[in-house]
Amino acid sequence: AQKVTQAQTEISVVEKEDVTLDCVYETRDTTYYLFWYKQPPSGELVFLIRRNSFDEQNEISGRYSWNFQKSTSSFNFTITASQVVDSAVYFCALSEGLGSGNTGKLIFGQGTTLQVKP
C-alpha cells in the first residue's frame, strides 16, 4: 500500500534558523514521483518540487533544498535561514507510475505546520 508519513505535526523556529521537514514514504512501485507543496492560510497548494524515483540527486533552489534517499524511503525538505513568510503547512506527496494519464493520483502526508517567529 502507498503511504506518506510526516511525523512532525508542528515545528516552531525563530527567524534565520534552518529547519528540516521530514517525509517518509511507502510504495511497492519502482517508478514513482515525490512532491512537496506549501499551503499558506489562503488555502492554495503551492507547488515546490517534483522528483522522480530515478533521480536521487539532491536539489537546491534558493533557500530550499531537498534530500532524496531511496535507501531509507525519505524525501526531506530543508529551509535555510527561515523567514516569517515561510510559515505555512507543508505537504509531502507520492504519485505512483510514470507516463501520461497515470500521475494524477497523489497520496499526501498529514502535513507539517511550520511557524517561523520573528
Partner 1 sequence: ETGVTQSPTHLIKTRGQQVTLRCSSQSGHNTVSWYQQALGQGPQFIFQYYREEENGRGNFPPRFSGLQFPNYSSELNVNALELDDSALYLCASFGRTEAFFGQGTRLTVV
Q: Rule CB under 8 A: which residues touch partner 1?
A: 4, 35, 37, 42-47, 50, 91, 93, 95, 100-111
Quote the least distance from Cβ 100 to partner 1, whole Å: 6
Calpha distance 64→62 (Å, rounded): 5
Q: Which letter does DSSP use for residue 23 in this model?
A: -
Pick the closer one to partner 1 by CB: 47 or 54: 47
Quote the least distance from Cβ 73 to partner 1, whole Å: 18
CB 27 within 8 A of CB 33: no
Instruction: State the maximum Cα–Cα separation within the chain, in Å, rounded to a whole number.
Output: 44
Quote the least distance from Cβ 90 to partner 1, whole Å: 11
Pick the closer one to partner 1 by CB: 8 or 95: 95
Pick the closer one to partner 1 by CB: 79 or 106: 106
Residue in this structure with the C-alpha cell 536521487, named with its chain if needed: 56
Look at strands 10-14 and 112-117 and give their pairing: parallel
